[in-house]
Structure formats: structure tokens, C-alpha cells
Amino acid sequence: HTETHTHTHTDSLLPRAVNVDLQTDATLQVDISDALSERDKVKFTVHTKSTLPNFKQNEFSVVRQHEEFIWLHDSFVENEDYAGYIIPPAPPRPDFDASREKLQKLGEGEGSMTKEEFTKMKQELEAEYLAIFKKTVAMHEVFLCRVAAHPVLRKDLNFHVFLEYNQDLSVRGKNKKEKLEDFFKNVVKSADGVLVAGVKDVDDFFEHEKTFLLEYHNRVKDASAKSDRMIRSHKSKKLFYNLQDAVASWELMQLMFFLKVSELFEKTRKIEARVAADEDLKLADLLKYYLRESQAAKDLLYRRSRSLVDYENANKALDKARAKNRDVLQAETSQQLCCHKFEKISESAKQELIDFKTRRVAAFRKNLVELAELELKHAKGNLQLLQSCLGVLKGNT
């Protein structure tokens, strides 16, 4: 059973200070107050505080699993009424496989190492597990907060059910057939996206956004991958020489004061590990999140373009119908619907994209500032340790 304090991280990804609609803060607050990691699933305790009349109580909690978050997200995506909004990206599936495997290997190898080594490794792996755990909680929380902050989505019925219904939502994960269907849907969508993207937009704002988002998304993707790789290198244990070997050498050579040096390196190694962990949170996670958000923004633009194409096609169809004087009414209705849909999407899309930029800028600012502050803190810590050890060594001449 693990308590999580994820607010710091969530805030970094979604600075509450720059929420779209500040006054909604008090009327609906959602967070994940607790989480439990079991063998193959994570149970999130979703806690809601609300003054809205829709809910039976002012404060309540339910337990939800990852699949239920996905169900909620997908229901937004499939809802035509929300076509004109950036749908908050779904949280990634909790993935403890690698961490669990490592812990298991450690357990198997227990006999072959000293008690000290085993304890140390166990602590490190557990810390790793805990870090992954905290991250997944934060990702799920961010999703809910984004929905709660959105003026339209927060009113969604499915969302309220998700928050309040204290039974299992019985949304089983997708079976193979459904997953295959999804796959094909995506292929079709990508192809269509390419087609539709070719259509030049009359509106400068959207034309600019299209170009911008396309390039931005690709670059964020690259930056995210490279930052992951860099941080993985930084986390590598092999950046420090093996402590046992060092200590054994110093003892053999009777360089006893060197044991201090080994102590020092153990401490600096821990600090380096924290630096890498902080970089992971402040930089890598930030990039990953905005990779997903920029995709969601691209999806919005795609939907808008799609509706524009539909609208133009409906116009052509209407012209044809009028020319043939056949099914004119039908064509007119259809055309009106398309027009209405397109205008509705365009209107909300513009605001959504502006908000996206505001959120993005604020999140980057917050994270970059925090990253710099943490790097400074750790470097200063390292410096102090090094200098004090140097002082002792030199004093020992």
C-alpha cells in the first residue's frame, strides 16, 4: 500500500495557476489521493470535491483502474460533440514489467551476494519501482485534472459517472478483435489525415497552426527520445567504478585514508542518481507529455480539416442537386449540418489552440526553472562534499 504525493509533479505538467477557467477550481476539484500497486494492476483512489449540484455529496472517492481511464478518454474521442476540443491525452499504461523483472532477478540471486550488497540493491530497485509508481499516478491525475478544468468536458456525464459511481464500471479492456479494429481505424485515419492536410486553409490562424504543430510535434518527439537516452546514460551505474574493487585495492595498498574517498564517491553517486531522476521528471516527462498533447492538438486540427472537406463536399453536392433539381432538400440539410459542424469546431478549436499554447509555455517555464534550481542544488551539494573531502585529504599530508 503506497501513499503518493503527486501534486508537485502534476502541477509541473499542468500548472493550476494558468488553468483555462480559474473559477472552476473551487467547484470541481479532482485528485488521486491514494494508489495501490498489486501484482498486475494498479488501483487509483480518485477523490472528488465539488459544489456542483450534479453530485450527491460534496466530497467522495472511488477506486478506478487504468482501463477505466481509457474508457473515459475513448468516450470523449468518439463523441461528435467534442470534435472541436483538444481531448486530454490518455495516460500511458502503468508499466512495471521491467522493474518487477529486476526485483525478481535480485531475489533469485540473493544467495550469490553479501547481505549488504543485497540490501543496497534491493533499496535501489525499490526506489526505482516507487519512482515509476509515482509517475504513473501523476499521469493519471493530470488526465483527470485536465478534464475537470475543461469548461465543457467537466460537464460530461461519463466523467461524472467515472467520478462518482462507486462500483466497478465493468469496462473490460479491448479484446484482440477490438484492438485490431482500432489498429485499422488508425491506419485509415493517418491516411485520411495526410489527404486532408493537403487542403489549404483560408484561415491564416489555422494554416499557421497546422504547419507549426506538424513540425513541433516531430521535434518534440525527437527531443523526447534523445532526452530519454541521455537520462538513461546518466542513470547508468557504470559511471562510477565498482566500490568493492576500490575499497579492496585501497586496503591492500594501505591507503586507508582513501576509504574516505570511497565514502565520498558513494555519496556523490547518490547525488548523481538524484540529478538523473530530477532530469527525468522535469525534462523527460515534460517532453513526453507535450508529445501526447501536441498529438491531441493535431487530432483536433485533423477533425477540423475533415469537417471542412465534408463541408466543401456538401456544397458541391448541393450545387449538383440544385442543378439536377433532385433531392435538393436533403442536400440542403446535409450542407447546413456540415456547415454548422465546421463552424462549431472552428470556433472552439481556435480557443483550444490558444489555451494549449498558454499551458505549454507555462509548463515549460515551470519545469525549466525547477530543473535549473535542482541542478544547482545538487551541483552545490556535490561541490561541498568534494571540497570537504579534499580538505581532509590534503590536511593528511
> Which residues bind to other proteins, rule: CB under 8 A?
212, 215-216, 219-220, 222-223, 225-227, 229-230, 232-234, 236, 238-242, 245-246, 248-249, 252-255, 257-258, 261, 264, 268, 357, 360-361, 364-365, 368-369, 371-373, 375-376, 379-380, 382-383, 386-387, 389-390, 393-394, 397
How far apart, in whole angstroms, are the C-alpha atoms of residue 306 and residue 314? 12
For other proteins, the closer CB: 264 or 301 = 264
- Asked if 266 contacts 243 with a C-beta cutoff of 8 angstroms, the reply is yes
CB of 62 or CB of 220, closer to other proteins: 220
**CA-CA distance, 289 to 286, in Å (whole number)?**
5
Considering the complex, state which of residue 96 and residue 216 has its C-beta at the smaller distance from other proteins: 216
Nearer to other proteins, 249 or 336 (CB): 249
For cell 568534494, the residue is 386
The minimum distance between CB 230 and other proteins, in angstroms, equals 4
Q: How far is the CB of 69 from other proteins (least distance, A)?
A: 28
Closest distance of CB 192 from other proteins, Å: 25
Pick between residue 195 and residue 379 the one whose CB is nearest to other proteins: 379
Distance CA 76, CA 203 (A): 27
User: Least distance in Å: CB of 377 to other proteins?
Assistant: 9
Nearest approach, Cβ of 375 to other proteins (angstroms)? 5
Q: Locate 375 and state its grid cell.
A: 541542478
Alpha carbon distance 7, 47 (integer Å) = 13
Per-residue burial over 248-271, b = 16 or more CB atoms within 10 Å of its CB, e = otherwise: eebeeeeeeebeebbebbeebeee
Angle (deg, nearest 10), helices 328-395 and 204-235: 30
* Min CB(288)–other proteins separation in Å: 13
Helix residue ranges per DSSP H, the chain: 7-13, 24-27, 66-78, 97-108, 115-149, 157-164, 176-197, 204-235, 243-252, 258-279, 285-324, 328-395
Distance of alpha carbon 367 from alpha carbon 289, whole angstroms: 12
Least distance to other proteins, CB of residue 145, Å: 22
The x, y and z cell numbers of residue 34, run together, are 491514494
Judged by beta carbon, residue 24 or residue 358, the one nearer other proteins is 358
Question: Measured from the CB atom, is 226 or 316 closer to other proteins?
Answer: 226
Instruction: Report, in Å, the least distance between residue 17 CB and other proteins.
Output: 13
Cβ neighbours around 174 below 10 Å, total: 15
Q: Are 161 and 48 in contact (CB under 8 A)?
A: no
Closer CB to other proteins, 33 or 358, in the complex: 358
Q: Are 257 and 396 in contact (CB under 8 A)?
A: yes
* All three cell numbers of 180: 485490431
